[in-house]
Every structure is written in C-alpha cells, then in structure tokens.
Amino acid sequence: MESNKELRIIAEIVAFSNDVSTYEVMGIKDTTVKICACWISKEIGLTTDQDLGAHFLIDHRYMNHRIGLLKLEMSLHTEINKSLRSLLQMCAMILKMSKMDINN
C-alpha cells in the first residue's frame, strides 16, 4: 500500500531530524516524536485516523488527544510552530519528489 510507504518516509524524516531512532517514532512508546509524525501525516492527509493509529501503534483517540496538546504548544510557542511547520513542508516536498519520474 502506497500510504504505508509514505508514512514510513515521514517516520524516517522525523526520526532523523530529531536525532532519534525510528523505533522512537514507530515503536510501542507514545513519544512526542511519534505524535509529531502523526500530526504531519494528518496534515498531509495520507490516511484515516484509524489506519494512522494502527501504523504508528497508538490508539487513534489518544493520538488525536495528544495532537490537540501539540497544537496548543504550537500556538503558545512560535519556535515550536516554526520548526514543526518547516518539518511538515520538508516531508511534503520529499513525498512529492518520491513520486516523480526522474527519467523524463
């Protein structure tokens, strides 16, 4: 499924940019970097909340609660907002580039 590949790319980008392992993003623990990856995936609109939760091993209702808290932090702290928006743009650009046919 294409969305699984895209979610994995987002997880790898978020892990790399935060200097953590991919396990921190996709593992059992509900870390802040996992919530960031979920937020980015939701913003890009890759899949349903249920599928997103299943992919990132997190209950989709709890994920949405944590995303709400993240959005609150973003609204209170401009630097967090700027960093996450930049990360969102980078993920969207890399996903777009991954779909390009570079042989043309």
Residue 104 predicted with pLDDT over 90? no
> Cα–Cα–Cα angle for 59, 88, 8, nearest 5°?
55
Residue 101 predicted with pLDDT over 80? no
Asked whether residue 46 is assigned to any structural domain, the reply reads yes
Asked whether residue 99 is assigned to any structural domain, the reply reads no
Interatomic CA distance for residues 102 and 99, integer angstroms: 9
Task: Using alpha carbons, select from 42, 49, 50, 55 the residue that is nearest to residue 5.
Answer: 55
Asked whether residue 104 is assigned to any structural domain, the reply reads no
Asked whether residue 100 is assigned to any structural domain, the reply reads no
- State the pLDDT at residue 1: 47
Interatomic CA distance for residues 16 and 55, integer angstroms: 19
- State the pLDDT at residue 98: 85
For tokens 């935060």, what's the residue? 18
pLDDT tens digits, one per residue of 34-68: 999 999 999 999 889 999 999 999 999 999 999 99
Interatomic CA distance for residues 86 and 96, integer angstroms: 15
Is the pTM higher than 0.85? The answer reads: yes
As for how many domains the chain has, the answer is: 1
36: CATH:
1.10.1750.10
The CB-side HSE value for 95 (13 A sphere, CA atoms) comes to 23
Range of the structural domain that residue 18 is part of: 2-94
Asked whether residue 103 is assigned to any structural domain, the reply reads no
Q: What is the DSSP letter of 58?
A: S
> Cα–Cα–Cα angle for 48, 27, 65, nearest 5°?
50
- State the pLDDT at residue 99: 82
- State the pLDDT at residue 100: 76
